[in-house]
Amino acid sequence: GENVEQHPSTLSVQEGDSAVIKCTYSDSASNYFPWYKQELGKRPQLIIDIRSNVGEKKDQRIAVTLNKTAKHFSLHITETQPEDSAVYFCAAGGAGSYQLTFGKGTKLSVIP
C-alpha cells in the first residue's frame, strides 16, 4: 500500500518568513495530493490540493508543488502570519480508490 513520509515534524519560523513542508510517497499510481491544516482542538480542513496532471498550484500565500518522477510534493507558505500556526498534514491517494494515506504531520509555529 501507499506510504507517506512528511518532514519536518516541527517547524518554527519568524512572522513574515516562508515555510516549506515536504512529503514523499511510495505508490506511483497515486494522483491526488491534498494538504490539511489542523488548528489546536479543531478538525482538519483542506487548504489546497493538487492532482498529478499539474506540477504547481497556488492560492494566495500558499502553493503546492509536485514532482511525480521523484514522488515528492511540497507545501509552501509565504509571508507567514501567527494564524498560520497549526499542524499541517499531507496525504496521497487516488490510486484506484478514494482512500487517502496521511503523513504524520508538521507542527508549524509562527513567531510574532
Partner 1 sequence: GAGVSQSPSNKVTEKGKDVELRCDPISGHTALYWYRQSLGQGLEFLIYFQGNSAPDKSGLPSDRFSAERTGGSVSTLTIQRTQQEDSAVYLCASSLIGDNEQFFGPGTRLTVL
Residues found near partner 1 in the complex (CB under 8 A):
6, 32, 34, 36, 42-46, 49, 89, 93-94, 97-105
Specify the pairing of strand 19-25 against strand 4-7. Answer: antiparallel
User: Do 80 and 16 meet the contact criterion of CB atoms below 8 Å apart?
Assistant: yes
Distance CA 45, CA 24 (A): 21
CB of 41 to partner 1, least distance (A): 9
Place of cell 507545501: 75
For partner 1, which is the closer residue by CB, 64 or 94? 94
Least distance (Å) from partner 1 to the CB of residue 5?
Answer: 11
Nearer to partner 1, 61 or 104 (CB): 104
- Beta carbon nearer to partner 1, 78 or 101: 101
CB of 98 to partner 1, least distance (A): 6
To partner 1, the closest distance from the beta carbon of 90 in angstroms equals: 10
Buried b (16+ CB within 10 A) or exposed e, 37-52: beeeeeebeebbebeb
